[in-house]
Structure 1
Amino acid sequence: MEDLQKLRTEVTNAFKLSGFTIRKEASTFVAERISSLSTQERQKTIDKLIVHLLHQCLSQPVLEKEHVEIAYKECSTLGLEDAETVFNVIDAFSIPKLCYDIERKKFTKDVSICNNLFPDAKWKAQFLIDRYMIIWQRTVRNKLFTQDVLPSVDDDKRFQLRKIEVLLSSSSRIDEVIVLGLLTQLTEGKFYLEDPTGSVILDMSETRYHSGLFTECGFVLAEGYYDDKTLHVMGLVLPPSETRVTSLPYFGSLNTFGGKSKSLLKNSLSLLKIEKDNQDGIIIFLSDVWLDNLKVLDKLKILLSGYNEFPPIAIIVMGEFLSCPYGSEHSNQLKTALTNFGELVHPFSNLRASCKFIFVPGRGDPATANILPRPPIPNSITKEIRDKLGDSVIFTTNPCRIQYCTQELVLIRQDLVTKICRNSIHFPEKGDIPDHLTKTLLSQCTLSPLSLGVQPVYWKHSEALSLYPMPDLIVVADHFQPYTRSYQDCKVVNPGSFPRTEFSFKVYVPASRTVEDSQIPNDDI
């Protein structure tokens, strides 16, 4: 008994040195588990527990017994853990909400549960403030703005980022101003820059625009001078994006992507081995798959028969699933079309056994308003195909996320090129649109850098559109021509419209992280 008490004191002191306050039940639990170990092994176990708990970004430094139990289990488990999944489809309404703690300079998870699609009005501003905080903390530590740069970096390469309240409090001219804010029209025809501290009117008559697409309700860095209560903008640039490697230290092992696991599966060595060993594994992306079109069904049959011998990991089928609106009969027509697709797949036993068919709805698919994120197609419409194909078919939200081993994929069916270009305040004079779009999405940390009037969003579920930290692959299914772009270790892909591009699609190879262009040959004579 005395030995256990002494050991408990040793555990308490060790955790105290690392900034934790450990409850009596928790310290007793640790003491009991390490009592049979040698002195050296005890210290190793305690150190491992402390490191694991530090990476969890706990909101309070007080350790309860359940915290220590989970940490001990995760530290002592070998091989593939219960929470580790090789393939997981994560719907938009279960994405974790992350909040930035300014004092600790870390992200923490918001544990409050919200199933309300229409919360209090304060959330309309709050989701934009949250997005501002993500972009702001990423910008201030960029090498162009950081204050603790190395002596070798020249002072003229370092800029000072100001808040709008600093400008508003000044009665004299301020030169060399750089402000991060939301580009908006508070009064019609007049652009303002807004941040949580205030708003300032912009004079953009002499503005020089850098690369990217600048939309109302997008965050920008405005460079110029402040005079007579007006910010005269000489240059407008998108906030700098950040690679995943740079972002991860601010999250620790916190699961930022979603799914059942408490820790980030990207760090799993077991899953990485499975990923590397499966050299032939592929994921197929098709968009605008019109299941009421006989030509499309014929081409799909060729695709299924071609892959039946070596089934892919998944075939992602994205909407719209009907070639035209059918009015009041739309749901019934879709139900029939999905049932026919189920009968088309059923003879291919290898595909049914080893491949997942994932359906992501488009704007014209039933049965919800044009607000992101969109829920999956209702069960009443999909019952027959689910009965036919069982667990191999999954109907999910738009957007959605897919975790395959250590890789993170974000999918959305949306005509982003048209929407963003149409609502840009300045169209780029050079460079191609996919390059500009890729840079815009990753710098804005969202799939929808548009005003709510152009693209409505459920305020309390805006994290479903988040692109921070960067995923490995973003699939934007768009009517625009197919493209593949790489930017800061992230790939952005558009498979294009399946019937409008002569039945072309994209194939992703996770083992090599490459994207291949594929097409079903045209056999018409």
Structure 2
Amino acid sequence: MDTSTPRHSDHFHRTVPDPIPSSSPAFGTPARPFRTTRPNAPPPKTSILPILLPPSTLRPVAFRTFTRKHNLTISSPALQTLAVFVGKHCGSGWREEGLAERVLDEVAKIWKRAGGGVIVEEGKGASLRAILQTLEGSMSGGRVVAGKASADGSGRASSLGDDGRMNTINEGSLATRPGDAEEDDSHKSLWPRHWLKAIDAFDLPRLTYNIEKKYFEAIKAKPTLFPPPSHKTALFRDRYNLVYQRLLRNESFQSSLGVAGVPSLQRSASNLAPRQSYKLTPIANLLGRSGSSHMLLGLLSISPTGDLSLVDLTGSVALDLTHTRMIPEDGAWFSPGMIVLVDGVYEEEEMVKGGVLGGNTGVGGAIGGHFVGISICGPPSERRDLSLGTGPQGSGELNSSGGFGWVDFLGIGSERAQGARMRRIQEKCLRAELDATETTRLKIAVMSEVNLDNMGTLDALRKVFSIYNDLSILERPQVFVLIGNFVRRASISGGGRAGSIEYKEYFDSLALALSDYPALLQHATFVFVPGDNDPWASAFSAGAASTVPRQPIPELFTSRVRRAFAAANSELDRSQASDPPGEAIWTSNPARLAWFGPVHDIAIFRDDISGRLRRSAVNTKPDDEEREGEEAEDTTMHEALDGAMGDMEDHTDMAQQKGTNLGAPSPGAFVARKLVKTVLDQGTVSPFLLTQRPVLWDHGSALQLYPLPTALILADPEVAAFCMTYEGCHVMNPGRLIPEGDVPTVRWVEYDVLRNRGRVKEERY
């Protein structure tokens, strides 16, 4: 008798350990394949049948998502790429279920977070193909699923960083959320100095304005010190195009219906008169129009015959400024190398100098005759928020005027891409300050013409450092800017002047003085900007104007100063100090300080610019009789262009305006107004011919002041110290650290970053 267990019993015993028992063990029914539910598990993948989606069919959805919602423009190749992606991953439900709109919305968000430009195209700012490759690993059923891992199975998804490269972010960050994504910055440092960056002029993006696309493009060619001659022409052409587009954005040059353009720079004094729009005439169009009035925009230049001429992209014409009125009167300097607006009358001549017949064009595009100027003024500057297309004071809100908010001018992220995020970080940093009150400010102490070969300079510096050393950490400046010349005579140039050994000893003495204040070295950043007398440029310039931008002071001479900072930081227990260590930064001239990304842009430039302007300025003072006849028409074109002197606010302490009546500007303040207006209207820190101020052709864009920075430190020792605001840009000049006089005095500027206001300070030592 067979006593063995039946087969079904064996199967029963084999199925007992199964955690999910069979529904019918007696008949050996297999267990039902239940799926274990895991937390945060993605939904089952739904199969999508790919379709062929024409780009023209997807265009309305792309326009509604990219242009209307995100203020972006999509190119045709990018639309083709998106149509292939949507057709493959969304299938036939791209329109009815709204799958395409959600995917395109997520693509636009990632593009903006990656710092891409206003035009969505491959290879501009960010990589569209990399974005779609990232989203492909997070797609399920035509939707972007939160927490869906990429193909590598690491539980983390890839995304684009601000520089357009692939970075890694936490899973779920690609999920579709209403509104813009809020980034988690809790892991970032909450000390304001962590977000300070000194940008060398040679590290700034090399941008050029494309007059056809009306947008900025990056120059891909590698810069060199010996470029071809065509780069010299491009240097002035780019300056002209930049000023020209800025001028056309001004409302006085935008014609409206029912308002005819008038050729005069003057307008009716009646407040009821309609707004006049001005029209620019190319110089080449003056031919055959003798005796007619025109307004020209061109570059003041010196012709080969030695006469003053005006040049634009179409030609040049001889300029007669004998009876020209300056607008505003004696309010700015005009010298060769500047771009100006001239209103006047063109007069042809039967024969002009050089043997060119009137009505013909000569060598270099020069036309016959001459242009008699009636009025001359600089192109009106444009406020920073208008240039970037944001709200007032760079609030980050969109502006109907457009602008270049997506352009990364400093290489740290554009205003549209990083501005809002950096403002949130700034608020967190200010709230995290110990015992933060309304008096807590971000301050910068600026000292210029720090001549270390002067015996009294170290005593003056000790006085300034001792004042701030006695204050608390919150009340001290977090940045100290020391600007050259660090020696009064050109070094490394021979002739019995200071050589390399003596120059290094001067900085060794500075290192000893800094070592007496370890608290400042531990909690502050020191920025050193060279002048024309500092090496190595002074080795061949011998004190004359060297090329700009110029390199920082070599490390050969600054080793002891760096060692002083390292010694001071080693004495502090960094395990209990959360703020970044103090450091010394040696930067170029000019240079930029960026605090919280594009929120605070501070430009620094050291040059004897006022003396060069006085030497080369064109004299355009009319006769007294003509001036009396023009007093009835007191309203000038500059008022029409919203660039009158009334827009300038002088913040210099009245106590410093010695020898003048209360409320009346001193002669020094008057010169300061002319200097600020001249530089900011030109939109460059070097508005001269290359024979007066040499410029490295391939780095000319580093000298541009467009858009206007939030603050400009214009260190000119020939002008008295001042602080004033013009078109929203706060301009400061610290003057000389030790002013001339019998009383030993130290003078510097203390700049409040948050209030965008500077104050000239003076103490006896």
The bucket for the TM-score relative to the shorter chain is 0.7 to 0.9
Distance 2:711 2:698 in 1: 24
2: CA distance, partners of 1:302 / 1:5: 75
- Quick one: which of 461, 467, 483 aligns to 1:306? 467
> What amino acid does structure 2 have at the position aligned with 1:112?
K
Contact 2:686 2:703 in 1 (8 A): yes
Aligned mates of 2:253, 2:535 — CA distance in 1: 47
Match of 1:48 in 2: 109
Q: Secondary structure at the match of 1:222?
A: strand
Shift of 1:421: 1.6
The one of 451, 468, 491 equivalent to 2:706 is 468
Percentage of matched positions with identical amino acids: 25
Counterpart code for 1:64: L
1:248 offset after TM fit, Å?
0.9
Which structure shows the higher strand fraction?
1
Q: Find 2:298's aligned residue among 181, 199, 222.
A: 181
- The correspondence of residues 141-290 of structure 1 with structure 2, limited to 5 A, is 141-148=249-256, 157-167=276-286, 170-173=287-290, 175-210=292-327, 211-228=331-348, 229-249=369-389, 250-259=403-412, 265-267=418-420, 268-273=422-427, 277=431, 279-290=440-451
Query: What are the Cα deviations for residues 86-143 of structure 1, in whole angstroms up to 9, with x where unaligned?
Result: 10000111122222233443x2231415331221111111110000000001112211
Deviation at 1:293, TM superposition (A): 3.1
Distance in structure 1 (CA, Å) of the matches to 2:714 and 2:232:
25
Alpha-carbon distance in 1 for matches of 2:735, 2:514: 23
Asked if 1 retains the 8 angstrom alpha-carbon contact of 2:600 and 2:710, the reply is: yes
Distance 1:238 1:261, change over 3 A: closer
Q: Give distance in 2, aligned partners of 1:271 and 1:383.
A: 34
Q: What's 2:529 paired with? A: 360
**Greater alpha carbon shift after TM alignment, 346-355 vs 239-248:** 346-355
For 1:475 and 1:371, how far apart are their aligned partners in 2? 19
Question: What is the distance in 2 between the residues matched to 1:469 and 1:145?
Answer: 19
How far the C-alpha of 1:79 sits from its partner, in A, is: 3.8
The one-letter code sitting in structure 2 at the alignment partner of 1:511 is L
Distance 1:201 1:221, change over 3 A: same
Cα deviation code 1:494-522 (max 9, x no counterpart): 10010125210000011211111212323
CA deviation profile, 1:386-410 (whole Å, cap 9, x unmatched): 2332461111101101011210000
Residue 761 of structure 2, aligned match among 497, 508, 518: 518
State the SS of the aligned residue for 1:157. Answer: coil
Deviations 1:248-285 (A, max 9, x none): 13313221133477976444322442576573321010
Q: CA deviation at 1:154?
A: 6.1
8 Å Cα contact 2:58-2:83 kept in structure 1: no
Q: Is structure 2 residue 488 aligned with structure 1 residue 488?
A: no
Residue 130 of structure 2 is aligned to residue 66 of structure 1: yes
* Structure 1 residue 455, shift from structure 2 partner: 0.8
Q: Give 1:315-326 correspondences, 5 Å limit.
A: 315-325=480-490
Q: Is the 8 A contact 2:259 2:275 kept in 1?
A: no
In structure 2, how many angstroms separate the alpha carbons of the residues matched to 1:71 and 1:244? 31
Q: Highest CA radius of gyration, 1 or 2? A: 2
Residue range with higher mean Cα deviation, 267-276 or 241-250: 267-276
Q: Which moved more, 1:465-474 or 1:262-271?
A: 262-271
TM-score by length of 1: 0.87
Tell me the secondary structure at the aligned position of residue 251 of structure 2: coil
Q: Secondary structure at the match of 1:515?
A: strand
- Measure how far apart 1:30 and its partner are: 12
1:204-263: CA deviations, max 9, x gaps? 222111131101110000101112032111111111111111111331322113347797
Range with greater deviation from structure 2 (82-91 or 216-225): 82-91
CA–CA separation in structure 1 for the residues paired with 2:727 and 2:120: 31
Q: Hey, what's the Cα distance between the residues in 2 that align with 1:286 and 1:238? A: 30
Runs of 5+ unmatched residues, structure 1: none
Residue aligning to 2:548? 372
**Alignment equivalent of 1:132, drawn from 240, 256, 268:** 240
Deviation at 1:199, TM superposition (A): 0.6
Question: Is the alpha carbon distance of 1:260 and 1:72 closer, same or farther for their aligned partners in structure 2, counting shifts above 3 Å?
Answer: closer
The amino acid that maps onto 2:595 is Y
For the 8 Å contact 1:176–1:225, the answer to whether it is kept is yes
Q: Distance in 1 between matches of 2:563 and 2:257?
A: 61
Q: Is the 8 A contact 1:417 1:478 kept in 2?
A: yes
Cα pair 1:506 1:518 within 8 Å, conserved = yes
CA contact (8 A) 1:282 1:509 kept: yes
Q: Secondary structure of 1:442's match?
A: helix
SS in 2 for 1:240: coil
Amino acid in structure 2 at the alignment position of 1:159: Y
How many angstroms does 1:53 deviate by? 8.4
Task: Render the CA deviation track for 1:48-82: whole Å, top value 9, x for unaligned.
Answer: 35767897144856863136669865675614499
Question: How much does 1:426 deviate?
Answer: 2.3
Q: Which residue identity does 1:238 align to in structure 2?
A: G
Flag the 1:451–1:47 CA change in 2: closer, same or farther, 3 A.
closer
CA distance in 1, matches of 2:120, 2:106: 23
Q: TM-score, normalised by structure 2?
A: 0.61
Residue type of the partner of 1:164?
I
**Other structure's SS at 1:217 match:** coil
Equivalence for 1:399: 590
AA aligned to 1:56 is G
Aligned to 1:520, what secondary structure does the other structure show?
Answer: strand
Correspondences of 1:412-423 after superposition (within 5 Å): 412-423=605-616
Q: Residue 499 of structure 2: SS of its match in structure 1?
A: helix
Q: 2:197 aligns with which of 51, 72, 88?
A: 88
Contact 1:143–1:149 (Cα < 8 Å) also in 2:
no
Equivalent of 1:78 in 158, 173, 183: 183
**1:357 counterpart SS class:** strand
C-alpha contact 1:140 1:146 (8 A) present in aligned 2: yes
Whether contact under 8 Å (1:26, 1:65) holds in the other structure is no
User: Aligned-pair RMSD on alpha carbons?
Assistant: 3.6
TM-superposed CA distance for 1:12, in Å, is: 6.5
Q: Return the alpha-carbon distance in structure 1 between the equivalents of residues 159 and 370 of structure 2.
A: 54
The answer to whether the 8 A contact 1:287-1:498 is kept is yes
In structure 2, the residue matched to 1:433 is 671
Matched, 1:112 2:250: no
AA of the residue aligned to 1:342: A
1:189 Cα offset (Å)? 3.5
Choose the corresponding residue for 1:97, options 206, 224, 236.
Answer: 206
Decide whether aligned partners of structure 1 residues 67 and 359 sit closer, same or farther in structure 2, where only a CA change above 3 A counts.
farther
**Counterparts of 1:460 and 1:438, CA distance in 2:** 26
**Which residue of 2 is the match for residue 297 of structure 1?**
458
Displacement of 1:417: 1.0
SS in 1 for 2:764: coil
CA distance, structure 2, for counterparts of residue 360 and residue 6 of structure 1: 61
Query: Aligned partners of 2:716, 2:217: CA distance in 1, in Å?
Result: 32
Cα contact 1:200–1:231 (8 A) shared by 2 = yes
Q: How does 1:326-345 map to 2 (within 5 A)?
A: 328=494, 329-345=498-514
Question: Secondary structure, in 3 states, of the residue corresponding to 1:234?
Answer: strand
CA contact (8 A) 1:446 1:466 kept: yes
